[in-house]
Amino acid sequence: MAGTKTKMALSPLLDVYLTSCRIEGKSSETVRSYKETLGVFVRIVADEGLPADPGSFTTAHVYQFLGSVADTGVSAMTQGMGTAEMGDFVASLV
């Protein structure tokens, strides 16, 4: 149907992204860190009722996620790393 947006499931996209990170030569520690951050992301998506379809994410959803991470009390450095990791993931969707 013309104009119909295809829904994407989140979990398979995460798996593909992590596989691409390994193929690109990212270190096992980097891939582990990305996997941890993305796991937090999946939990917050479910807990906060954010869209499970990444194609439905808006800037407001991203800020809601980042605010939820900040509310956990993690350091600003950890928040910054998570923001960068999420940025890489979101860029991989385009």
Q: What is the pLDDT of residues 55-83, one digit of tens each?
A: 888 888 888 888 888 898 888 888 888 88
Residues 6+ apart with CB under 8 A from 46: 52
What pLDDT, on a 0 to 100 scale, did the predictor assign at position 64?
87
Domain extent listing, the chain:
10-17+26-93
pLDDT tens digits for range 6-17: 456 788 889 999
Distances (CA, A) of 24 to 4, 18, 19, 51: 33, 10, 9, 29
What pLDDT, on a 0 to 100 scale, did the predictor assign at position 1?
43
Distances (CA, A) of 17 to 24, 48, 49, 56, 74: 10, 23, 23, 18, 24
CB atoms within 10 A of CB 70: 13
Going by C-alpha positions, the residue among 43, 37, 42 that lies closest to residue 81 is 37
User: What is the pTM for the complete model shown?
Assistant: 0.75
Q: How many CA atoms lie within 13 A of 87 on its CB side?
A: 6
What pLDDT, on a 0 to 100 scale, did the predictor assign at position 66?
84
Mean pLDDT of 35-62: 86
For the chain, give the mean pLDDT.
Answer: 84
Q: How confident is the model at residue 4 (pLDDT cuts 50, 70, 90)?
A: very low
